[in-house]
Chains A and B, each alone.
Chain A
Amino acid sequence: GENVEQHPSTLSVQEGDSAVIKCTYSDSASNYFPWYKQELGKRPQLIIDIRSNVGEKKDQRIAVTLNKTAKHFSLHITETQPEDSAVYFCAAYSNYQLIWGAGTKLIIKP
């Protein structure tokens, strides 16, 4: 079955700098890759997603890239702000369900 690996587990960046989180997946049939942001004690919130027929997608300060050949996708956050501090999860859609990465705790240093 599908396996999703996410790195790093913790990422600390200076406010204003960029943050990059990377995920790899194993099932070449996976065709949908969402990224979720979860604040402590709250539900995961979809921040951006990408489908397998697209290589890159951008929404203001957030972008996602997908390399189908290498089976990896990445989240890019530019001009980071304190409110970006949270845990970020990648996921891959496989066999009618989402397979989740382990999460990355993003810390924005003032």
Chain B
Amino acid sequence: GAVVSQHPSRVICKSGTSVKIECRSLDFQATTMFWYRQFPKQSLMLMATSNEGSKATYEQGVEKDKFLINHASLTLSTLTVTSAHPEDSSFYICSARDASGGVNEQFFGPGTRLTVL
């Protein structure tokens, strides 16, 4: 199946700093990428949908100025958590939809564990 990478896999930062997470589709083009957040023992929560070349669509309750998303190419989307605080500590997972394949299936990255001290 299609491969999605995510970097970094784990990051620990001080409160107030910004953290950038990269999501790459390695062997396919992804016109749409999704960013999820998952707290312990909970389901995946969709934060935003990222479309190549256009502004991301954020879910209700997700601050677009705090979670900056850039999808500048068909293989790369980035999520920047600005001025991170301890409550932002979570598991962030991206997924990508293959533009050429089945319209529905999403391929997930390995996730990024963010810990804000």
Q: Does chain A bind chain B? A: yes
On chain B, the residues within 8 Å of A44 by CB distance are: 44, 93, 108
A20 at interface, CB cutoff 8 A: no
Bound CA span A41–B93, Å: 11
The closest CB in chain B to the CB of A9 belongs to: B41
Bound CA span A96–B31, Å: 12
Tell me how many residues of B have a C-beta within 8 Å of chain A.
18
B8 at interface, CB cutoff 8 A: no
On chain B, the residues within 8 Å of A45 by CB distance are: 108
Stretch at the interface among B14-22, B69-77, B81-89, B109-117: B109-117
Bound CA span A46–B102, Å: 14
On chain B, the residues within 8 Å of A102 by CB distance are: 42-43
Among B32, B43, B108, chain A packs the most CB atoms within 10 A around the CB of B43
B43-A89 in contact (CB<8A): yes
B90 at interface, CB cutoff 8 A: no
Bound CA span A31–B43, Å: 21
Interface string of B91-117 (1 = CB under 8 A from A): 101000000000011101111010000
Sample of 15 further A-B pairs with CB below 8 A, known A31-B104, A49-B104: A34-B104, A41-B113, A42-B111, A43-B108, A43-B109, A43-B111, A44-B93, A45-B108, A46-B105, A97-B34, A97-B46, A97-B49, A98-B34, A100-B44, A103-B43
Q: List 27 A-B contacts (CB under 8 A).
A: A31-B104, A32-B104, A34-B104, A34-B105, A41-B91, A42-B110, A43-B93, A43-B108, A43-B109, A43-B111, A44-B108, A46-B1, A49-B104, A89-B43, A89-B44, A93-B104, A96-B32, A96-B49, A97-B34, A97-B49, A98-B34, A98-B46, A100-B44, A101-B43, A102-B43, A103-B42, A103-B43
